[in-house]
Amino acid sequence: MFQSSQPMLATPAPRCDAEADCWDNRTPLSGANRLQRLCGDGVQLEWDLARGEIAVFSRNGEGGDILEPAAVCSLDEWLDCVASGDRGALRDKLLALAASSTRSFEAQFRLAGSDGHQPWADLQGLVVRDSTGRARRVVAHQAKLAASGDVKPTQLPSPFHDPLTGLPNRRLFQRCVSRAVESARQEGRCGFAILFVDLDRFKAINDRDGHLVGDHTLLAVAHRLSHSVRPDDVVARRDGDEFTILLTDIWQPADAVAVADRILHQLRSPLSLEGTEIVVTASIGIALSGADSLEPDELLHSADLAMYQAKAGGGDAYLLAGSESHGRYDMQRAG
């Protein structure tokens, strides 16, 4: 049986330049609300190891579902909110994450309250690594505890990444596409494509083998998609069994078609999950950028419609939006 109490991460796609938007405005970290902004209950932390900075996100109101940027600070600035007696050990533990191979961690510590009160907090996080195993960022969720040792169930959402696969989420992908469109307009030329990937009959896997097997299947698919594209391309999990891909520097339809064909080939290789063999196929819609088609929502919609047309033909196929160019995986070719 599968046993996992931690969210699972695929090899993440490279960060999109649009993700840097959340780092642009550093807010001064002074005043009485400093502790609440940096270490409030339910805040999300995203530590960019290359930048050496932590972006802090808080929810928009009590019970809010939308994470909004609250502050950007250094590790030492964030640690200033930790009680002095716990600060050194927590700093050492966090710095050791980059040198270790761990993918998850948890720490409990006391906060440095302005009134002398030192409430306990629990920090649970994931270390996101690239295909070489190098740590790139740490995504964590912080919650206040009534006392040391208390357990407060938490999720580890990132404002820009899918918690199951570690891939960019819908929000970040939209930003990446918008950035690609902006660059195309400024440079006066277009050269990218969007692939909309939807797994065929994925619900049957969940119904037959259970949702845990389904989650492992999605994780394996995310891994295969990430390794079917180039380092500068962006693979995202949109929702459920839907993925989207931004292909950069695409100047010929054949280039995008070649990627779609490679994905179909890679996905069809059977997965062995704890003795259960899973065969995954997908339907792929392709939308190419063009002088008369440079609106992000329009491109995504075109790719989505093409995907549904490919699925209507039986799936395991791709379709290029606005043309008759389509293809179906040939089992004999896999030979």
- More reliable by pLDDT, 129 or 286: 286
In 3D space, the residue among 114, 314, 298, 53 whose CA is nearest the CA of residue 201 turns out to be 314
Which tens digit of pLDDT belongs to each residue from 129-146? Answer: 776 778 888 888 887 776
**Position of tokens 């059977």?**
270
Q: Are 334 and 268 within 8 A, CB to CB? A: yes
Every domain of the chain and the residues it spans: 17-145, 170-334
Rounded Cα distance between 150 and 253, Å, is 56
Reported as a pLDDT band with limits 50, 70 and 90, residue 186 is confident
5: pLDDT strictly greater than 90 = no
Q: Are 93 and 79 within 8 A, CB to CB? A: no
- More reliable by pLDDT, 319 or 147: 319
Amino acid (1-letter code) at residue 321? A
Domain 170-334 class in CATH: alpha beta
For the chain, the farthest-separated pair of C-alpha atoms sits apart, in whole angstroms, at 73
Burial of 293 (0-12, 13-18, 19+ CB in 10 A): middle
* CATH of 17-145 among 3.30.450.20, 2.40.40.20, 3.40.640.10, 3.90.1300.10: 3.30.450.20
Burial of 28 (0-12, 13-18, 19+ CB in 10 A): exposed
Which tens digit of pLDDT belongs to each residue from 64-116? Answer: 455 667 778 889 888 888 888 899 999 998 998 878 777 777 888 888 876 67
- Predicted confidence at residue 31, as pLDDT, reads 46
**16-30, 34-48, 102-116: the lowest-pLDDT one:** 16-30
Residue 170 backbone dihedrals phi, psi, to 5 degrees: -55, -40
DSSP letters, 276-321, are EEE---EEEEEEE-BTTB--HHHHHHHHHHHHHHHHHTTSSEEEET
Reported as a pLDDT band with limits 50, 70 and 90, residue 51 is confident
Element (H, E) at 177: helix 170-187
Mean pLDDT along residues 264-270? 93
**230-239, 272-281, 294-303: the lowest-pLDDT one:** 272-281
DSSP reduced 3-state for 195: strand
Mean pLDDT along residues 11-26? 48
Which tens digit of pLDDT belongs to each residue from 192-214? Answer: 999 999 999 999 998 888 888 88
